[in-house]
Structure 1
Amino acid sequence: MDFKSAKELLALCAENALPISEVMRRRECLLGEVEQDAVDRRMAKAWDIMRASATQPLETPIKSMGGLIGGEAKTLQAHAAEGKGICGDVLQKAMTYAMAVLEVNASMGLIVAAPTAGSAGVVPGLLLALQECYDLPDGRIVEALFNAGAVGYLAMRNATVAGAVGGCQAEVGIASAMAASAAVELLGGTPQQCLDAASTVLMNMLGLVCDPVGGLVEYPCQNRNAAGVANALVAAEMALSGIRQLIPFDQMLDAMYAVGKRLPAELRETALGGCAATPAACAACGLCSGN
């Protein structure tokens, strides 16, 4: 059940008539030499942590260590509660939960890196929103997390998930690809549709830079997690409708990695360019003159 590329993963799914989630689960059991129950328990624990980090700030807003964010998730929730939301239930909830996770992360709380701390809100944000809107049991969500894990594994093996290496396209971009693929399987899509959605996400986020204000994983990271769930939702909807992706996921990963390596150092997590170099950002963090 081992695979090194999306092409090999799709072949395993076809040969064994299995969804991506089940291929990934069996891979974890075989390579880790552990029983399925143990693997399932670990993933269920990860889901519990994800859900807690996505909901805690809605009860008690948390100020980040750097002071740049805090309370945004609750503000979004209140906006929707007043009937003023314009995004629809799934996207509104997903945005809110994704931003909440970043508040927990930036205040040194417990999160699940998916695939990184700076992009940790996208996967739980979208899956928790889908669970609530479609009344899905935890068991289904745990299965979807194995699907997301397969996409994350491929990215880590064949490209990068580090903003310092590939920009934010490698962090929030891969997180969004993971979420999109998981959402497609969760809503009845095929393995091919899952990876079509993942490829579409990377295409749409290609070239996104990593420019944290003050070098802190707070701003614009939190906003980009919200944008990431929107991108994932769009890609999932397109794939489920039957729209095919011209570029296979393996090739899109290669393209993302190549673009990331060509980004200047100022745009790869150094806080020397992009949003981080604007006068307003410099004034907010107090670390530079903005000149």
Structure 2
Amino acid sequence: MVFSDLLTIWRNTGLEFSEIILAQEMMETGRDPVIVKQALKRLMMVMLEEAERNFGKSFETLTGLTGKNASKMYMSKPRVLSEFNWVATVTALSMAESNAAMGRIVACPTAGSCGVMPGMLYALKSVEKANDEDLLRAFVVASGVGNVVAKKATLSGAAGGCQAEIGTATAMAAALMTYYFSQNPEAVGHASALALKSLMGLVCDPVGGFVEVPCVKRNASAVNVAIACAEMALAGIESAIPFDEVVEAMYHVGRSLPESLRETGLGGIAATRTAQKLVESIHKNLNSGSET
């Protein structure tokens, strides 16, 4: 599946774009579009349920490096963020910290990037009062964007760096918002390309190998990137490079990254002096806990 082919089908038929994506999935995998849509709806509803349940909560995580960020953001009055951005940010932090605390999440597209899509979904639901059917159509379109990346490149931080995880999640969230407000597949392609380009080259450098630092806060930053890119696309701003080519570029950049910058915890901020001290402290705490 490539995005340009989906656009061609849409231009030639005028069919609703989410239905085209479901039909294309059937052609490639043989899966019944009705069943696929039902499965996607279940995933979307889990995201919304968990976002509602965990919004602004504190968590006890394995390392203790995170767990209080969502609650701090929730308790802080925004200075410049809109209500939409604030809700999306709190949600992204909440879901990423829930993941670090072994809570229920939807890996969309990965566990390390699990806060971005729920952040966008919950902001649309709670602030814009989006109905479930409109959200579902936009969610299917966002899933199609993620599927393009999965098939043309990679979603793995170990294979392509954090650009493959957070970058893809951001492209999907930008697609979600853009389609919800415009139902314009061409704008979706531009929003997704703008988002993925914005995070091109982002390395995967988890401190100690734990999906907490910098992963949790990246989810919060990324959902705001997605909002900005969607707003640009909705304003008619276009990506000079088509989405399919951006995905190809991301893949080649990921392959060029050294192993130390692909989820090994050996490079980037994971290699800083402070990070090394934190890892030593974590291991001591974990070892002392196992002895008692």
TM-score (norm 2): 0.91
**Runs of 4+ off more than 6 Å:** none
Aligned equivalent of 2:149, options 152, 155, 165 = 155
- For residues 116 and 214 of structure 1, what CA distance do their matches in structure 2 show? 19
Structure 1: 5+ residue runs without aligned partners?
none
- Paired position in structure 1 for 2:229: 235
- For residues 140 and 67 of structure 1, what CA distance do their matches in structure 2 show? 38
- For residues 74 and 85 of structure 1, what CA distance do their matches in structure 2 show? 17
Number of residue pairs the alignment of both structures matches: 283
- Paired position in structure 1 for 2:5: 8
- Paired position in structure 1 for 2:290: none
Structure 1 pair 288/48, CA: closer, same or farther in 2 (3 Å)?
closer
- For residues 218 and 288 of structure 1, what CA distance do their matches in structure 2 show? 12
- Paired position in structure 1 for 2:201: 207
Aligned equivalent of 1:221, options 192, 215, 219 = 215
Structure 2: 5+ residue runs without aligned partners?
284-292
Structure 1 pair 19/177, CA: closer, same or farther in 2 (3 Å)?
farther
**C-alpha offsets along residues 226-248 of structure 1, whole Å, 9 cap, x if unaligned?**
11111111110110001111100
SS at match of 1:151: helix
Structure 1 pair 285/148, CA: closer, same or farther in 2 (3 Å)?
same
CA contact (8 A) 2:57 2:94 kept: no
Q: Residue type of the partner of 1:191?
A: P
Q: Residue type of the partner of 1:131?
A: K
Q: CA deviation at 1:188?
A: 1.3
- Paired position in structure 2 for 1:265: 259
- Paired position in structure 1 for 2:287: none
Q: Residue type of the partner of 1:208?
A: L
Q: CA deviation at 1:72?
A: 1.3
- Paired position in structure 2 for 1:107: 101
Identity of aligned residues (%): 37
Structure 1 pair 60/97, CA: closer, same or farther in 2 (3 Å)?
closer
Aligned equivalent of 1:25, options 6, 22, 26 = 22
- Paired position in structure 2 for 1:73: 70
Q: Residue type of the partner of 1:43?
A: L
- Paired position in structure 1 for 2:184: 190
Matched ranges for 1:165-180 at <5 A: 165-180=159-174
Q: CA deviation at 1:144?
A: 1.3
SS at match of 1:110: coil
CA contact (8 A) 2:37 2:140 kept: no
**C-alpha offsets along residues 19-46 of structure 1, whole Å, 9 cap, x if unaligned?**
4322122334555555554333322211
- Paired position in structure 2 for 1:51: 48
RMSD, aligned CA: 1.9
Residues 1:42 and 2:39 are matched in the alignment: yes
Q: CA deviation at 1:189?
A: 4.3
CA contact (8 A) 2:110 2:155 kept: yes
SS at match of 2:106: coil
CA contact (8 A) 1:112 1:120 kept: yes
CA contact (8 A) 1:20 1:150 kept: no
> After the TM superposition, which of the residue ranges 211-220 and 20-29 deviates more from structure 2?
20-29
CA contact (8 A) 1:211 1:268 kept: yes
Q: CA deviation at 1:149?
A: 0.7
> After the TM superposition, which of the residue ranges 225-234 and 10-19 deviates more from structure 2?
10-19
Structure 1 pair 57/152, CA: closer, same or farther in 2 (3 Å)?
same
- Paired position in structure 2 for 1:117: 111
CA contact (8 A) 1:53 1:104 kept: no
> After the TM superposition, which of the residue ranges 108-117 and 37-46 deviates more from structure 2?
37-46
**C-alpha offsets along residues 200-222 of structure 1, whole Å, 9 cap, x if unaligned?**
11111111100001101111001
CA contact (8 A) 1:55 1:100 kept: no
Structure 1 pair 163/44, CA: closer, same or farther in 2 (3 Å)?
same
- For residues 250 and 38 of structure 1, what CA distance do their matches in structure 2 show? 27
Aligned equivalent of 1:127, options 109, 121, 131 = 121
